[in-house]
Amino acid sequence: MKLRIYMILTKTKVEGPGARFCIWVQGCPIHCSGCGAKETWNFEAGELLEVDEIFSMIRNTRDIEGVTFLGGEPFEQASALYELAAMIKGIGLTVLTFTGYTYEYILKADKKEWNDLLSVTDLLIDGPFQEDKFDLSRPWVGSSNQNYRFLTDAYKHLENNLSSIPNKVEVRLHKNGTVFINGTGDFNNIKKRLKNLEEGE
């Protein structure tokens, strides 16, 4: 089975608890106003990779505690992510899945592939980004409507300690002069400031 991918980071410390392999899937139908990742919306863009190939990259990455799925919309590729997540859990790593759908919506839909993905997710962070509820006081999320669902015991210990975990961004400067920033922050503002710097303002 193949996954349509926007990007992979083999190790990051700002997309969930601890050091994580991170997969941004390509394609999102939700189109939140103020989304900082519009380049992930198009379902035709990105790159198709075999689940086995991605799993092999994960297995060969040292010192990670888990894998994060974000996007794009992970539940739009739930079957392939379920297959991958089952292998990830098999080698003792955790799975964090982000979704722009609400948990209630997913449960009500009662789709087999969505339930399957839930069954291999340790921590689900659900709900669309809402610009008018912009709030960076909690880790890994950008608006106050988003929720943390501790679906297994793996991260239960964080449930009452979330506010003590700071939000961070990582900045990668590439040889070709491009800059990649990930994590949780005011991305639209950061992009605007970088553009101003580029234009020498």
Give the residues lining the site for ligand SF4 (CB under 6 A): 28, 30-32, 35, 37, 40, 71-73, 100, 128-129
To ligand SF4, the closest distance from the beta carbon of 149 in angstroms equals 16
Q: Which residues contact 118 (CB under 8 A, 6 or more apart)?
A: 106, 124, 151
Q: List Cα–Cα distances, 82 to 2, 12, 74, 108, 124, in angstroms.
A: 12, 22, 10, 19, 14
- Least CB distance from residue 39 to ligand SF4, whole Å? 9
CB of 72 to ligand SF4, least distance (A): 6
Query: Least distance to ligand SF4 from the beta carbon of 14, Å?
Result: 16
**27 three-class SS:** coil
Nearest to 123 by CA among 162, 95, 90: 95
What are the distances in angstroms from CA 115 to CA 84, 111, 141, 198?
Answer: 15, 6, 23, 46
Nearer to ligand SF4 by Cβ, of 23 and 154: the residue is 23
Rounded-to-integer distance, Cα 23 and Cα 94, Å:
14
Residue number with CB closer to ligand SF4 (32 or 78): 32
The three-class DSSP label of residue 81 is helix
Closer to ligand SF4 by Cβ: residue 8 or 86: 8
Where are any strands of DSSP class E within 65-122?
A: 66-70, 94-98
What is the number of the residue whose Cβ is closest to ligand SF4? Answer: 100
Are 124 and 167 a contacting pair, CB within 8 Å?
no
Nearer to ligand SF4, 40 or 94 (CB): 40
Give the nearest distance from C-beta 145 to ligand SF4 in angstroms. Answer: 12
| Residue whose CB is less far from ligand SF4, 69 or 155 | 69
